[in-house]
Amino acid sequence: DAGVIQSPRHEVTEMGQEVTLRCKPISGHNSLFWYRQTMMRGLELLIYFNNNVPIDDSGMPEDRFSAKMPNASFSTLKIQPSEPRDSAVYFCASSFVDEQFFGPGTRLTVL
Amino acid sequence: AQSVTQPDIHITVSEGASLELRCNYSYGATPYLFWYVQSPGQGLQLLLKYFSGDTLVQGIKGFEAEFKRSQSSFNLRKPSVHWSDAAEYFCAVVFFGNEKLTFGTGTRLTIIP
């Protein structure tokens, strides 16, 4: 298994632009999680899905952030419009029962 | 309030020395407990986990952790560290009835020759 796949690995964009981060979970996993990691705030859970349904989005910082999971093998995290304070590493993780498997992350820089 | 604490932000140990990283949680029951490791520029990898049963759990890469209910702790140990162990270590907790992982702030481990 290739593990959790995230794309792109690096993204540099200008303030105000739309950014879309993508995640392919491990086949057979039924839960998917989006995290953000910054020096100031550490690892934060943004949102998680179970069986493609959003269960808890209380960590989504504001309306500029949205996440979708149209099917069991794909999820997106969108930021529109992006701001410099959104610069961070965004991780996707998937799980079946108890262990979450993390992707390599997308490093986002908003100028 | 439910929380997890890693009191040490940064630890430096000599190669070959023993290691103990601390983790404490605040919760009215026993949560599920995890230790993850993050190498520079990488995602997080699970080292070990505790759900119930034997309070001393063995993980990958020679790590072990001991759950102590009386101290609400789940400290990570390794008898002899290697230079490749230099990384950031995160303690994480799942509180009952919740799939969400709550992470500690992490401990950065530096290994000196």
Collapsed DSSP state (helix, strand, coil) of residue A85: helix
* Interface contact B49, partner A, CB < 8 A: yes
CB under 8 Å to A85, separation ≥6 — which residues?
Answer: A110
Instruction: Output the CA–CA distances (angstroms, integers) from residue B16 to B19, B65, B83, B86, in the order listed.
Output: 9, 18, 9, 12
Token duo for residue B7: 């009191």
Question: According to the model, what pLDDT value does residue A97 have?
Answer: 80
Chain B: residue whose CA lies nearest to A98: B99
pLDDT in tens, B79-96: 999 999 999 999 999 887
Question: Rounded to an integer, what distance in angstroms lies between the CA atom of residue A60 and that of residue A109?
Answer: 18
Say if residue B99's pLDDT is above 80: no
Residue B49: its pLDDT value, please? Answer: 94
Strand A10-13 relative to strand A106-110: parallel, antiparallel, unpaired?
parallel
The better pLDDT of the pair B83, B99 is held by B83
pLDDT digit of tens for each residue in chain A (111 aa)?
689 999 999 999 999 999 999 999 999 999 999 999 998 888 999 999 999 999 999 999 889 999 999 999 999 999 999 999 999 999 999 998 878 999 999 999 999
Chain B residues in contact with A101 by the CB 8 A cut-off are: 46
Q: Per-residue pLDDT tens for B29-68?
A: 878 999 999 998 888 999 999 998 899 999 999 999 999 9
Check if B103 contacts A (Cβ < 8 Å).
Answer: yes
The DSSP output letter for A26 is P
Q: How far is B40 from chain A (nearest CA, A)?
A: 11
Per-residue pLDDT, B96: 74
Nearest chain B CA: its distance from A83 CA (Å): 23
Q: Which of A75, A31, A24 is nearest to A50 (CA)?
A: A31
